Amino acid sequence: MGAWALPYRRSGSILLRVESAERLAVDATVPGSLAGFLNSLRRTLPSRVYLGWESVDLERLATHMEWDAERVRDGLRYLAQRGIVELVDAEDGLVVEWTQPRMSRLQIDANDLDRARQHAVRRLDDVIGYTESVGCRRQYLLAYFGESAPARCGRCDICLGRHRPDVVTRADESLLRQLLEHAAQSDPLSTWLSDASVSPRKRNALIDWLAHDGMIRLVDPIGEVFEVTPKGLRALQRTSATAE
């Protein structure tokens, strides 16, 4: 068994247990100043301290004994050193006593460990998904907890357009068209512009631009499923007509 202590607030309470009632009784018969203390202690202690650990208010005990509290504490510590009582003093800090020897190695079920690891990885994926979400953060969070929310909260970094390009250049137009086609064909988001040399950041910015412009709509924030709006479809038809 081991004990582990950490700082604790000063308190007048002690945990006390009489280890040897017999020696306590015998020592009380030996003439001297200790006998006075022991006899007073024996008359005053609650009987439960003979049965097991008991919280004792040191101030009250000292008052009943008509002794000074610090001297009672010193006396109890002396008795503890002699193995007559056992004492846990809040002044010494909080003490945790292990009821069983601590194992140097924990017995862990490999399947449990694997499940826990998979669970942790899923949670981490969710956090990464949140930070990389292409839609409104609030909508993503609420969807995560199974609640529906407006497509835009108007307050998060996405809604405030922190990642959205201010202007769409001519070079972006072809990319926007490809994104619209991906959405129209319900391609998984991971494949959108995957063959174009576009950073995920830039890609997400363009997707946000399309959503903000009302061309596409995020229908499943967690699964990142978009649908093309009628406006988006019209744009798609227009550009394909131009391309032909």
Residues 6+ apart with CB under 8 A from 83: 19, 20, 23
- Assigned token pair, 180: 């619209």
Residues 6+ apart with CB under 8 A from 6: 93, 94
User: Distance between CA atoms of 13 and 231, rounded to whole angstroms?
Assistant: 75
Give residues 129-148 in contact with Zn ion (rule: CB under 5 A): 136, 138
Size of the residue set binding Zn ion (CB under 5 A): 5
Only one of the segments 63-71, 155-163, 200-208, 226-234 lies at the binding site for Zn ion (rule: CB under 5 A); that segment is 155-163
- Nearest-approach distance from CB 155 to Zn ion, in angstroms: 6
- Nearest-approach distance from CB 159 to Zn ion, in angstroms: 3
Out of 80, 95, 141, 153, name the contact with Zn ion by CB under 5 A: 153
Rule CB under 5 A: is residue 207 a binding residue for Zn ion?
no
User: Distance between CA atoms of 37 and 23, rounded to whole angstroms?
Assistant: 14
Nearest to 89 by CA among 98, 79, 99: 79
Q: Are 137 and 156 in contact (CB under 8 A)?
A: yes
Residue whose CB is less far from Zn ion, 88 or 218: 218
- Nearest-approach distance from CB 52 to Zn ion, in angstroms: 59
Interface pattern 158-197 for Zn ion (x via CB under 5 A) = -x--------------------------------------
- Contact residues toward Zn ion (CB under 5 A) are 136, 138, 153, 156, 159
